[in-house]
């Protein structure tokens, strides 16, 4: 998965991460941050594998977006376990995670966070209509908002970050555009695609995965 955007012409066009370069119209990475790519891969893989194995068939997949990740990282590094202000993440939804383990492995943290959020569906369910009703949202002690934001049909951009804080490890995932609108469909249940014709608009079909990719 990759960030979409206008092709670069010089390294100056590549501004999201320090020391990036430009080659053949693509931004190339600078020096590696230990664990960052592994954490990205762990998050993306867990998001994908878990929804394929637990959810009714879905025909859309999220795109990992490094600009969303940068916003998530900024909040995670504050090391305050609460949601960021909406003004700090315009148009983005957010899930947060914390473990009391200090310097917890970032890949494991990313995987654990995703699994905990997906587990809300297995534990509490959402009903056959797959709608985020007011009654569903207000059920006591049966939170499903993390799951519903992960699965939200129109939230196709995903970016996550894990930060080591002094007394805990914090994870943040953000989703764009934001989901979790009451009395709306979480996502449309549908058959896996087999060709581009089975995908809406300009989406293309990843036949091996049976999912429509946002382009």
Lowest mean pLDDT among 30-44, 123-137, 189-203: 30-44
User: In which band, very low, low, confident or very high, does the pLDDT at 177 lie, cut at 50, 70 and 90?
Assistant: very high
**Over pLDDT 90: what percentage of the chain?**
44
Q: What percent of the chain has pLDDT over 70?
A: 73
**pLDDT given for residue 2 in this prediction:** 45
| Best CA proximity match to 71, nearest among 82, 54, 85 | 85
**Res. 46: pLDDT tops 60:** no
Q: Could you report the per-residue pLDDT of 93-152, keeping only the tens digit for each?
A: 999 999 999 999 988 898 899 889 989 998 999 888 899 999 999 999 998 999 999 999
Location of structure tokens 């504050």: 78
Which tokens hold the place of 116? Answer: 């905990």
Domain 34-213 falls under CATH 3.40.50.300: no
* Strand partners of residue 28: 21
Give Cα separations from 199 to 2, 26, 58, 59, 207 (angstroms).
19, 27, 11, 8, 11
**pLDDT tens-digit series, residues 61-88:** 677 888 999 999 999 999 999 999 999 9
Structure-derived torsion over alpha carbons of residues 54, 58, 154, 48, reported in degrees to the nearest 10: 50
Q: What pLDDT is stored for residue 215 in this prediction?
A: 56
Can you tell me the mean pLDDT for 176-202?
87
Supply the mean pLDDT for the chain. Answer: 81
Q: How confident is the model at residue 35 (pLDDT cuts 50, 70, 90)?
A: very low
Q: Where are the domains of the chain?
A: 1-31, 34-213
CA distance 215 to 196: 12
Give mean pLDDT, residues 22-49: 55
Identify the pLDDT of residue 24: 56
* Residue 83: exposure state from Cβ atoms within 10 A (0-12, 13-18, ≥19): middle
């Amino acid at each position: 998965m990759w960030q979409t955007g206008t092709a670069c012409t010089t390294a100056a066009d590549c501004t999201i991460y320090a020391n990036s370069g430009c080659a053949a119209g693509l931004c190339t990475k600078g020096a590696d941050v230990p664990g960052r790519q592994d954490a990205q891969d762990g998050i993306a893989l867990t998001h994908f594998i878990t929804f394929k194995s637990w959810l009714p068939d879905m025909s859309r997949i999220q795109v990992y977006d490094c600009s969303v990740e940068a916003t998530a990282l900024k909040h995670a590094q504050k090391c305050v376990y609460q949601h960021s202000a909406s003004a700090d993440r315009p148009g983005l939804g957010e899930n947060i995670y914390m473990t009391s383990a200090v310097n917890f492995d970032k890949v494991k943290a990313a995987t654990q966070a995703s699994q905990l959020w997906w587990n809300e569906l297995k534990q509490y369910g959402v009903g056959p209509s797959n709608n985020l009703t007011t009654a569903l949202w207000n059920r006591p002690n049966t939170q499903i908002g993390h799951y519903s934001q992960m699965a939200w049909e129109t939230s196709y951009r995903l970016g996550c970050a894990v930060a080591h804080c002094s007394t805990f490890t914090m994870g943040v995932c953000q989703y764009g555009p934001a989901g979790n609108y009451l009395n709306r469909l979480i996502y449309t249940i549908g058959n896996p695609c087999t060709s581009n014709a089975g995908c809406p608009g300009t989406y293309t079909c990843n036949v091996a995965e049976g999912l429509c990719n946002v382009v």
